[in-house]
Amino acid sequence: MTSTDRPAQNRHSRRTEILEARPVQLDGFVEEWPEVGMIAMESPYDPEPSIRVEDGVIVEMDGRERSDFDFLDQFIADHAIDVSAAEEAMALDAQEIAARVVDPRVPRQDILHLTRGLTPAKLLDVVESMNVVEIMMAMQKMRARRTPANQAHSTSARDNPVQVAADAAEAALRGFAELETTLGIVRYAPLVAIALQVGGQTGRGGVITQCALEEATELELGMRGITAYAETISVYGTESVFVDGDDTPWSKAFLASAYASRGIKMRFTSGTGSEVQMGNAEGRSMLYLEIRCIQVAKGAGVQGLQNGSISCIGVPGAVPSGIRAVAAENLVASMLDLECASGNDQSFSHSPMRRTARTMPQLLPGTDFVVSGFSGVPNADNMFAGSNWDPEDYDDWNTIQRDLKVDGGLRHVAEKEVLAVRGKAIRALQAVFAGLDLPPITDEEVDAGIYAHGSEELPERDVLEDLKAAKGVMDRGITGLDLVAALEKGGFRDVAENLLGVLRQRVSGDLLQTSAILDGDFSVRSAINDANDYAGPGTGYRPSGERWEEMKRLRHVLSASNPEQEVE
């Protein structure tokens, strides 16, 4: 046979082979299937916006009569939407609202007067009329806090408290405002949460910490002052999935008040794709359901939300316009005046280019927490199943900040400072463990922990003894105050002062206000005293002064006066 006779099925071009070998081919992509909700946005099955108010009560919303409301509809209608603003806001064309949201000259406050009266379907129409650049323009103005910030994960595949303390200290030193941990073995939680707190306060006083656990346990650690805030309070966009999560909007609203009653900052968590992943999207688009979640958070009176698909990012990431939908859900949270911790926190792609592109809609305009969180530990140690950003990316992140002059919350730190703070954090934890009669941390562990990248480089701990001690921490009623006393007694007076400073904040309640973080000098920065004032070119937050000088530093920068030398 000649070559023209034979179909060339088995033969590929060299270029195809090269393309087939690219990391992006390992990612999963699927066609849209709107009937089951496997569609990011712009679904033909999402409801048309509508509202009817009688005697101050919403009796019809998005085409559904009040008697047919599921519990999310009812909660949103009765708690999230400002009835006095609704009819006027709903009468405006969605595209006109979108234009105002994007327009830098329309003040943020004016937008909030409109958005408080919009139904889920209307909010959906508004963001569906925006392209991704418009979404970023809008986010730049609508983000609640003027100054962006960032959050890190500090976890360990072996739940090793030594590793968690060292990496938490390094992350705090590098600029993260919040640190989050979680566990492989849940019973380890008290020791790991203590390590996170001690490490964090060693790295930079005022960083706030959380331990992601089942709702009731997470609250208990917070009540004891071992953690400083909470985030993994999940809400879902359909009633059946919400019930599968063993909660309702009312139980979550109760929980929100329970946290506030102890002076503890908290935010809810939700994200596109969770409902279809959990098997009941009721034929709605991912973004429509997520907007319902955002409004549940608003109605519950919680100050903020972690969203941006979060642990379900593979789902919107697999369908067309999915990453645009994720940017849109962050924007809707900000349009409803909630603090937004904007995701980028779960690995979703093998392609470094996709990983980077996926973060631009949050990094470029800035969000309250651009990544939530950025892994402060190698992928194998990340107990949140891996982040979109790893410690190997620290210098890339710092370089991107410097290239584009955008503030992603981090800074370059010289190695000697990193090593010093890691060592101090582990020794502080060693003192706390000794003071509280917990299994000792050896000097060998201190030394290994200073120089380690991951848990495998640390001596293994006696897990059974640690677990026994962890139970003891709970049984003995150890609180944050005991940690303060043990730190002081162990000679770490400055770390003790830092931790007490964080605990004292709960007496003032200042951290309960929207988008609140603590500066290095323990001054609170929130959407009240650091409100976003972006109003076009030359306004709003722009890196300047000391912060910009700090952002210019990288690991290797040549001196202008002596090109043979690198600047410190």
Partner 1 sequence: MTQTGDRHLDPAVDYPLSSRRPDLLHTPTGKHIEDLTLDAVVAGDLSPLDLRIAPDTLLMQAEIADGAGRWQLAENFRRAAEMTEIPDERVLAMYNALRPNASTGQELADLADELEREYSAERTAALVREAADVYERRDLLAAADD
Residues 376 and 167: beta-carbon distance below 8 Å = yes
Please name the residue that has the structure tokens 């000792």.
440
Residues in region 441-500 near partner 1 by CB under 8 A: 479-481, 484-485, 488-489, 493, 496-497, 500
514 binds partner 1 (CB under 8 A): yes
Placement of tokens 């631009």 in the chain:
360
* Cβ-based nearer residue to partner 1, 62 or 445: 62
Q: Site size for partner 1, by CB under 8 A?
A: 71
What tokens were used for 157? 């595949």
Distance CA 17, CA 4 (A): 22
261 is catalytic: no
Residue number with CB closer to partner 1 (222 or 316): 222
- Of 73, 125, 128, 153, the active-site residue reads 153
**Amino acid in position 24:** V
Question: Is 9 among the residues known to form the active site?
Answer: no
Identified binder of partner 1 from the candidate list 528, 547, 548, 554, rule CB under 8 A: 528
Nearer of residues 399 and 513 to partner 1, judged by Cβ: 513
Q: What is the distance between the alpha carbons of residues 281 and 235, in angstroms, rounded to a whole number?
A: 14
- 275 included as an active-site residue: no
Cα-atom radius of gyration of the chain, to the nearest Å? 24
Q: Angle at CA 169, nearest 5°, toward 196 and 157?
A: 55
How far are the Cα atoms of 132, 148, 414, 523, 530 from residue 195, in angstroms, in the given order?
Answer: 40, 26, 23, 24, 31
Residue 504 touches partner 1, criterion: CB under 8 A:
yes
Q: Is 345 a catalytic residue?
A: yes
Nearest to 165 by CA among 410, 412, 536, 425: 425
Selected catalytic residue, list 62, 128, 231, 530: 231
Extended strands (E) in 328-465:
339-341, 372-375
SS3 465: helix
Asked whether the beta carbons of 245 and 499 are under 8 A apart, the reply is no
Asked whether position 513 contacts partner 1 by CB under 8 A, the answer is yes
Q: For 223-297, where are the E strands, in sequence order?
A: 229-234, 265-269
CB of 529 to partner 1, least distance (A): 6
Binding to partner 1, residues 125-184 (CB under 8 A): none
152 φψ region: left (φ > 0), alpha (ψ -120 to 50), beta (else): beta
Considering only 524, 548, 552, 554, the residue that binds partner 1 (CB under 8 A) is: 524
> Is residue 151 annotated as a catalytic residue, yes or no?
yes
Measured CA to CA, the distance from residue 525 to residue 483 in angstroms comes to 26
In the bound state with partner 1, the residue whose beta carbon lies nearer, of 72 and 164, is 72
Closest approach, Cβ 511 to partner 1, in A, equals 9
| Given the residues 274, 372, 505, 526, the one annotated as active site | 372
231 included as an active-site residue: yes
Which of 178, 180, 290, 445 is an active site residue? Answer: 180
**Terminal C-alpha separation, the chain:** 70
Least distance from partner 1 to the Cβ atom of residue 267, Å: 12
Q: Which CB sits closer to partner 1, 107 or 320?
A: 107
In angstroms, give the least distance from the CB of 360 to partner 1.
30
Min. distance of Cβ 516 from partner 1 in angstroms?
9
Q: Which residues from 275-334 bind partner 1, rule CB under 8 A?
A: 298-303
Binding mask 239-268 for partner 1 (x = CB under 8 A): x--xx--xxx-xx-xxxxxxxxxxx-----
Cα separation, 124 vs 524, in Å, equals 34
Instruction: Find the length of the chain.
Output: 568
Site for partner 1 in 201-220 (CB under 8 A): 215-216, 219-220
If you ran DSSP here, which 8-state letter would residue 41 be given? Answer: S
Q: Per the structure block, which two tokens stand in for 277?
A: 């992943």
Minimum distance of partner 1 from residue 301's CB (angstroms):
3
Residue 351 or 479 with smaller CB distance to partner 1: 479
Kindly state the smallest distance separating residue 145's Cβ from partner 1, in Å. 13
| Contact assessment for residue 163 and residue 377, using Cβ atoms and an 8 Å cutoff | yes
Comparing CB distances to partner 1, the nearer of 200 and 543 is 200
What are the structure tokens assigned to 285, written together?
A: 């688009």
For residue 76, what are its two tokens? 């949103």
* Extended strands (E) in 48-125: 51-54, 57-61, 64-65
Q: Which of residues 332-361 bind partner 1 (CB under 8 A)?
A: 337
User: Does position 71 bind partner 1 by CB under 8 A?
Assistant: yes
Query: Residue 488 Cβ, how far from partner 1 at the closest point, in Å?
Result: 6
Which CB atom, from 260 or from 360, has the smaller least distance to partner 1? 260
Q: Which of 306, 347, 387, 430 is catalytic?
A: 306
Q: Does 306 qualify as catalytic in the annotation?
A: yes
Q: Which residues are catalytic?
A: 151, 153, 180, 231, 306, 345, 372
